[in-house]
Structure 1
């Protein structure tokens, strides 16, 4: 990160976004400047979490990176729920999952594979990730298959079932954290005693330990602010451009929100730390599916605007094919540039279909 260039750009984009939000009524301009500023702040957030990971270790660091990398998606989704834009919320959840599994992981595999012929990571962790991805697909498929007939299921029953599924998913995620970070930490770990894939990690963090935490807090705060400004104008912009809420939520908002994961995972793959890159990309998708999505159900209840977990057939199909191809290419614990291309091609196919639909 070139601070001489980066920080002025960050400041200018933030001031432009503030000016457009408070002093103009041109919503496309508000949306564009908010997107630009959000990209810079999300990337800074990614760098801050990468710096924190240097002090916390690769497994904990990957978890923190995925967690704070998802802060943008979660904050955007909360504001969308508050506005009652449930279709866009669900589309953004879908987009976050497929974006991490296909775009972030695909770019990481491709960029890392161009530099290194084959990159390896923990196959045991890859196997568990594949199982959790299937759980995510099941959690989306069951409500879509059984709760869409209004003659059999009332709106209240719909919400009740969604709450039960949300509790089950959050429980599964919490138990996974205990399993992977506590009881089976050695089996799941990709690095021990400062070693990464058997190579000593001699890199230095960008900031000190407390400096990293401070930057993390500041960047998360500004991500929240820019997210609110973006949501304020997104519906009008989508209508003006003729884009559906599904496409805007699944691709535009998801790509912007995934900026932190993009930068961190790709840089780690370029340093032959594919284990950490996979932990960020797949771990982030799992966190969205198993924690963020069900948590939004409870957030919607706080706003007195109940949201269910019934996704459209398009969204369920998109998550299913993404989980299938990501599981297929990563289950053996090794990657190459061609597998990255396969993931990116599937992302292009889904993006084309979502745009048309």
Structure 2
């Protein structure tokens, strides 16, 4: 009888002992065993693969309950899993081979139109994966640092392209590509989000937090003011010192705009941490789906390494892309202004575009607005002034004089979007109107010839 009881006790304690051995280093095994069993009962099949990637360094437990931990094997498996997640998990990564192909075509034939086209395609998945790696790193840094990382890397592709263009003196390309990024986010990305969400929720209007959007609209109007005064000063020939006052005003205004943007970040991150995600506060989610959204897929150091690799690769491709712009413009008979304002920003905003539409279709319109309008605010209040300061350091006369045509386009766009957002509602008609406005802007730049592009640019070295 005693032997029978001992056998029953051994059988009952068999599984908990295995759990104790695998979690003894992480705290009290009695408490941990309860948590492990509760997690197993709540865990959905869809969440298992993500947890496997998140905790792939856990020690292996054999059938007899003994631990066998092989550090070299774990590291190798970790690298393989990380590559699978980052490189092979997204379908858009099928475009990655176009990057090396662009370099190969440049070395063999030097055909600028093909190099430009292939570089564009190659940068699209890199921009999307850069945003993904930033989001993964933000899980480990907390909301404040995570917000700063998103602000820094959210528009990293546009900034890298702009810095390469600044190096070779293509100042107008820098100005027009940054302007195009703002126009693309505010009209095309937001318009597609409204249109897609409106079609899914056809019989009702979607609502969003218009108070949060009002802050961004105010900053965008401030950016318009910063760009308007140098353009008017130049056009009216009322400079105190011809050729220097305009540049000095631009550099001073850029520093002011950077201070304003830093203040905005502090205000947003410390006092309005959830300003763009009120939907999730009162929302009851299924355990499986919430687990998918809350568990990071790669570790902190893997995120940092991937950020470095992707940034370096984007930088390499951006150099080939910028060098091929003028040659592609001549061979394809497309104005440089159209390439800079329309084509380049669409590549840089590909990740934001897909994300904004996805959230709108899921009725999370506040996040879509945070992506589209927030990205426009970053470029207007951080990207443009940052490039002016970088040009100042490089000795390039980068200024805020975007010419009256471009400045007027930005001003009208900000007004149109502000009027669309003032009611705090969205539907497919508003989205369609924003998309049609973007088509008008695209057509305008297709027939627009920039008369100052040649005199503003420094001599461009041959590639």
TM-score by length of 2: 0.70
Aligned to 2:221: 134
Aligned to 1:92: 177
Aligned to 1:324: 415
Deviation of 1:233 (Å) = 0.7
**In 2 relative to 1, CA 7–35 (structure 1 residues): closer, same or farther, beyond 3 Å?**
closer
Q: Which has the larger radius of gyration?
A: 2
For 1:217 and 1:275, the matched residues in 2 are separated by: 30
Aligned to 1:305: 396
Asked whether the 8 Å contact 1:147–1:158 carries over to 2, the reply is: yes
For 1:266 and 1:252, the matched residues in 2 are separated by: 19
Answering whether residue 310 of structure 2 is matched by residue 222 of structure 1, we say no
Among candidates 433, 443, 446, match of residue 355 of structure 1: 446
For 1:283 and 1:53, the matched residues in 2 are separated by: 17
**In 2 relative to 1, CA 291–344 (structure 1 residues): closer, same or farther, beyond 3 Å?**
same
Asked whether the 8 Å contact 1:169–1:291 carries over to 2, the reply is: yes
Among candidates 230, 234, 253, match of residue 147 of structure 1: 234
**In 2 relative to 1, CA 45–164 (structure 1 residues): closer, same or farther, beyond 3 Å?**
same
Deviation of 1:112 (Å) = 2.0
Structural mapping, 1:49-128, within 5 Å: 49-52=134-137, 64-65=149-150, 67-116=152-201, 117-128=204-215
For 2:199 and 2:135, the matched residues in 1 are separated by: 22
For 2:120 and 2:401, the matched residues in 1 are separated by: 28
**In 2 relative to 1, CA 49–4 (structure 1 residues): closer, same or farther, beyond 3 Å?**
closer
Q: CA RMSD in A?
A: 2.7
Deviation of 1:206 (Å) = 6.8
Among candidates 322, 327, 330, match of residue 231 of structure 1: 322
1:23-77 deviation line (CA, Å, top 9, x unaligned):
3311112111111101121122233345456677899867754542311111111
Aligned to 2:364: 273
**In 2 relative to 1, CA 334–220 (structure 1 residues): closer, same or farther, beyond 3 Å?**
farther
Count of matched residue pairs? 354
* Structure 2 residues without counterparts, runs of 5 or longer: 1-84, 449-463
Among candidates 104, 114, 124, match of residue 19 of structure 1: 104
Asked whether the 8 Å contact 2:207–2:424 carries over to 1, the reply is: yes
**In 2 relative to 1, CA 292–272 (structure 1 residues): closer, same or farther, beyond 3 Å?**
same
Asked whether the 8 Å contact 2:233–2:246 carries over to 1, the reply is: no
For 1:62 and 1:331, the matched residues in 2 are separated by: 26
1:188-224 deviation line (CA, Å, top 9, x unaligned):
35249xx356344613357234244443433232222
Q: Secondary structure at the match of 1:43?
A: helix
* Structure 1 residues without counterparts, runs of 5 or longer: none
Asked whether the 8 Å contact 2:359–2:365 carries over to 1, the reply is: yes
For 1:56 and 1:338, the matched residues in 2 are separated by: 40
Q: Secondary structure at the match of 2:235?
A: coil
Deviation of 1:151 (Å) = 6.3
Deviation of 1:148 (Å) = 3.0
For 1:44 and 1:176, the matched residues in 2 are separated by: 27
**In 2 relative to 1, CA 173–8 (structure 1 residues): closer, same or farther, beyond 3 Å?**
closer
**In 2 relative to 1, CA 30–262 (structure 1 residues): closer, same or farther, beyond 3 Å?**
same
For 1:304 and 1:21, the matched residues in 2 are separated by: 29
Aligned to 1:165: 253
Asked whether the 8 Å contact 2:231–2:402 carries over to 1, the reply is: yes
**In 2 relative to 1, CA 54–104 (structure 1 residues): closer, same or farther, beyond 3 Å?**
farther
**In 2 relative to 1, CA 143–152 (structure 1 residues): closer, same or farther, beyond 3 Å?**
closer
**In 2 relative to 1, CA 55–125 (structure 1 residues): closer, same or farther, beyond 3 Å?**
farther
TM-score by length of 1: 0.89
**In 2 relative to 1, CA 178–5 (structure 1 residues): closer, same or farther, beyond 3 Å?**
closer
Greater alpha carbon shift after TM alignment, 146-155 vs 229-238: 146-155
**In 2 relative to 1, CA 217–262 (structure 1 residues): closer, same or farther, beyond 3 Å?**
farther
Deviation of 1:13 (Å) = 1.9
Among candidates 349, 369, 383, match of residue 258 of structure 1: 349
For 2:103 and 2:196, the matched residues in 1 are separated by: 35
**In 2 relative to 1, CA 215–157 (structure 1 residues): closer, same or farther, beyond 3 Å?**
same
Deviation of 1:106 (Å) = 0.9
1:132-157 deviation line (CA, Å, top 9, x unaligned):
12112111112111233446341121
Aligned to 2:298: 208
Asked whether the 8 Å contact 2:113–2:332 carries over to 1, the reply is: no
**In 2 relative to 1, CA 61–98 (structure 1 residues): closer, same or farther, beyond 3 Å?**
farther
Q: Secondary structure at the match of 1:155?
A: coil
**In 2 relative to 1, CA 326–44 (structure 1 residues): closer, same or farther, beyond 3 Å?**
same
Q: Secondary structure at the match of 2:97?
A: helix
Q: Secondary structure at the match of 2:347?
A: helix
